[in-house]
Amino acid sequence: MKENIGFNEIEIGMPLGVREIDVTKEAVDFYMEKSLWDSENFAEQETFAPPGIFNSDHVRMLTAALGGAGDRIWAKSNHQYIKPIRIGAKLKKTGNIADKYIKRGKQYLVYEVETRDENGNLIIKSRETSFFGPVGEGGKNES
C-alpha cells in the first residue's frame, strides 16, 4: 500500500490504476451470500453476475492509488449499466479522480470508473463520491 497522499496533493485527472477481475461462479456466489441476494430472485445466476458486484472494488482502487486506510465513506454513487456481467468474463476497471471539493468542512473526492470486458466492451460506467479523511463525532470532519 502506498504512503498516504493528502487531500491537497490529490490532482484532478490522477489515475486510479487498473483493477483486473476474473468473474467466476465462486465470486458470484460469494457476493450473493455477502450482500443477501435471494437466489430465487436472480434467475440468471448461472450465466451472469448480479448488478452491484465488484462495486466495492472502486474504493479499493482509491485506496491503492492514494494509500492509507482512513475513513472512506461513500457519499454518492452513479452507475449506468450497459451490458450484463457474464460469468467467465475478465473485467478491467480503470478510473481517475474527476473532482474534489470541501463542503461544510468535509473533504470529498469524486472519481470515475469504467468497467470493460476482455473485448473492450463497456459494461458499466460509474461515478462515485467518497468522504475522504478522518471522521469526527456524528460524521463531522475533525481536520
Partner 1 sequence: MKADRNVKVGFNIPSHEKIAHAPSYEDEVTTIHDDEHAQQRGFRGNLVGGGFLLGYTLQMLYRYFGADWMKHGAIEVSYIGGGAINGDRIEGNGVITEKKEEDSGVRLFLDVWLDNTATGKKILVGKASCRVH
Residues that bind partner 1 (CB under 8 A): 34-38, 41-44, 48, 50-52, 55-56, 58-60, 63, 69-85, 134-140
Tell me the three cell numbers of residue 143: 481536520
Judged by beta carbon, residue 8 or residue 41, the one nearer partner 1 is 41
What minimum distance in Å lies between the beta carbon of 96 and partner 1?
19
What minimum distance in Å lies between the beta carbon of 135 and partner 1?
5
Tell me the three cell numbers of residue 58: 472502486
| Spatial distance between the Cα atoms of 143 and 140, rounded to a whole number of angstroms | 9
CA angle 73, 76, 80 (to 5 degrees): 130
What minimum distance in Å lies between the beta carbon of 44 and partner 1?
6
Structural contact between residues 130 and 75, judged by C-beta atoms closer than 8 angstroms: yes
Judged by beta carbon, residue 94 or residue 135, the one nearer partner 1 is 135
| Spatial distance between the Cα atoms of 19 and 115, rounded to a whole number of angstroms | 9
Judged by beta carbon, residue 27 or residue 73, the one nearer partner 1 is 73
Judged by beta carbon, residue 15 or residue 134, the one nearer partner 1 is 134
Structural contact between residues 110 and 97, judged by C-beta atoms closer than 8 angstroms: yes
Tell me the three cell numbers of residue 34: 455477502
What minimum distance in Å lies between the beta carbon of 66 and partner 1?
11
